[in-house]
Amino acid sequence: MSTAATEAATTGPKGFQGNEKLLWGIVLGVTTFWLFAGTTGTVARNMLEEINGPASSPGVWANPHVSVNQMNLAVSITALFSGLFIVLAGGLSDKLGRVKMAMAGNVLGLVGSLLVVLATGSLALPLLLTGRAIQGLSAACIMPSTMALLKAYWDGPARQRAVSMWSIGSWGGSGLAAIFGGFVASNLGWRYIFWASIVISLISIAMMWGTPESRAERSAPRAFDIVGLGVFIVAVLALMVVVIFGAQLGWASPATLGLTAVALIGLAVFVWWEKKQENPFMDFSLFKNKTFTGATISNFTINATIGLLIVSQQMLQLARPERFDPWRAGLLTLGYAITIIGFIRVGEKLLQRFGPRKPMLWGALIVGLVCILLAMTQTLVATYTALAVVAYSLFGLGLAFYATPSTDAALANLPASQSGSGSGIYKMASSLGSAMGAALSLAIFTAVMGGDSTLIGEVIHMQGIQSNAAIRTAGMVTMLFNLALVVVSVVAIMLTVPKQEEQQAQG
């Protein structure tokens, strides 16, 4: 099934053209996830302190309603649920209607935000996790259905503008999330972030209300592979719990070993099952295409580096709370927002000039440089602040260079009959990469910060005050982990994405 139905023929009212009201309703719907739901990593400490009360030391509460690891799960679970259900939601939007699915996504976003707002006391954890999961389902509904509406109701230059506006809503929202969330959390309180999300969802619903329905043309009915999806969800959730809670439970504990077995066996059963299906949830025949496989792996690992943004923001607030509240820490990311919005079209031009391989490599290498700069936590705070400003700006630049060429490399060589499935897997890799990367980075950061390892301290001297040495060490280790992710991405690109001259020879 196609996630965005961009390759499917559509049915809708003849003569209807997209208008500004509908376009802004779509953009606001997209923004509810990328801007509002995306702030949680930046304001996680504020959420914990408000729910649990002041901590006696960084990350330590006497009787927490929500633990640090549980908050890490809340940060990651939204992207996880978006990735898990985006293929199913895209297929449903083709069948039931893109407008209905976009509206349903807005309603889910509203409900999810409301549950997060109400998270307090003994009910804080279930409300927080449920609300964040529903926000992920909201994104899974909104992203493919709104992209399909752009194709259905806009043409030519008008469609190009509409797609650019959609991209600004998503990329711009993600770029401004730390700044917006930091400002609201520091000046009004973090719950107002999600009140704002509720208001924007309502406005989006009102602006899309009355839009004629659009759906894919009817074809022979094909049952969705719900068994494959279910097995995949169980396996991935078990893996996420191991990643986030393994250190707390004990790596050799029966619970951890049992969950690991569930994850491994579940993935093996998933592959076996999918290969038997006529209409699989994940079409493994796509991975016979070397370029698609490499671009998808690279996409997964590059998106996983979002953990460096989340962890660096938390590290600044924990290491020097007197200098960095969420607003001042988030303000450092302004360059990220500017470059990712300003240069996203440059990636498109680089693709046209050099083919996908070079800009993908350039983008990945720039992200690698970001990891190195943010890993220099041994420096004094003034120096590190300057490094962070440069690093965040480069992070946006690297992702902007990488995004469009990577998508083109993954999908351009697939036959039309597989482009929908390929797009779904590629988009799923983006969301699951973000979820797994954030979870792993936060797990590493939390474990090293709470451990007693002094290996780095014996090799690298931490300048300035020493009371936060464990926090800075944890930040350094996490950035080096993200550098390893970039290395995997670079290797995948070099081994699978052909050079421009090779592409031209093949074409």
Give the DSSP per-residue string, 481-493.
Answer: HHHHHHHHHHHHH
In whole angstroms, give the CA distance from residue 374 to residue 384.
8
Residue 38's nearest CA partner among 72, 69, 78, 84 is 78
Residue keyed to tokens 């983008």: 363
Task: Locate all alpha helices (DSSP H) within 53-123, ordered by sequence.
Answer: 68-96, 98-117
Residue keyed to tokens 């993600």: 174
* Furthest C-alpha separation in the chain: 71
Dihedral Cα 336, 339, 340, 344, nearest 10 deg:
-170
Asked whether the domain spanning 285-499 has the same topology as the one spanning 18-213, the reply is yes
Angle between helices 306-319 and 290-304 (to 10 degrees): 10
3-state class (DSSP) for residue 358: helix
In whole angstroms, give the CA distance from residue 100 to residue 80.
23
Q: Considering Cα of 68, then 72, then 75, then 81, what sign does the dihedral take?
A: negative
* Cβ-based neighbours of 5, under 8 Å, separated by 6 or more: 90, 93, 94, 98, 144, 148, 151, 216, 420
For 504, the token pair is: 């031209």
For 222, the token pair is: 């094909």
* Cβ-based neighbours of 103, under 8 Å, separated by 6 or more: 205, 208, 209
For domain 285-499, the CATH architecture is Up-down Bundle (1.20)
Residue 317's nearest CA partner among 333, 334, 303, 337 is 333
For 51, the token pair is: 């729910």
340-368 pLDDT per residue, tens: 888 888 888 898 889 899 999 999 999 99
pLDDT of 449 over the 90 cut: no
Confidence at 10, pLDDT banded by 50, 70, 90: very low
In whole angstroms, give the CA distance from residue 146 to residue 215.
12
3-state class (DSSP) for residue 215: strand
Residue 497's nearest CA partner among 361, 312, 317 is 361
CB atoms within 10 A of CB 305: 28
Confidence at 145, pLDDT banded by 50, 70, 90: confident
What residues form DSSP beta bridges with 73? Answer: none
Confidence at 6, pLDDT banded by 50, 70, 90: very low
Angle at 238 between CA 236 and CA 244, to 5 degrees: 100
**CB of 10 closer than 8 Å to CB of 216:** yes
**CB of 215 closer than 8 Å to CB of 95:** yes
pLDDT of 422 over the 60 cut: yes
In whole angstroms, give the CA distance from residue 209 to residue 196.
20
Distances in whole angstroms, Cα of residue 344 to Cα of each of 169, 279, 297, 356, 416: 13, 35, 21, 14, 26
Confidence at 245, pLDDT banded by 50, 70, 90: confident
153-205 pLDDT per residue, tens: 888 777 778 877 887 788 778 888 888 888 998 899 999 999 999 999 999 99
Residue keyed to tokens 């998106």: 303
**CB of 406 closer than 8 Å to CB of 295:** yes
In whole angstroms, give the CA distance from residue 210 to residue 204.
12
295-331 pLDDT per residue, tens: 999 999 999 999 999 999 999 998 888 888 889 988 9
What is the CATH class of 18-213? mainly alpha
Q: What is the pLDDT of residue 167?
A: 77
pTM, rounded to two decimals: 0.84
Q: What is the pLDDT of residue 191?
A: 94
Q: Provide the mean pLDDT of the chain.
A: 86
For 127, the token pair is: 């409300």
Domain spans of the chain?
A: 18-213, 226-280, 285-499
124 vs 166, residue with greater confidence: 124
Q: What is the pLDDT of residue 9?
A: 42
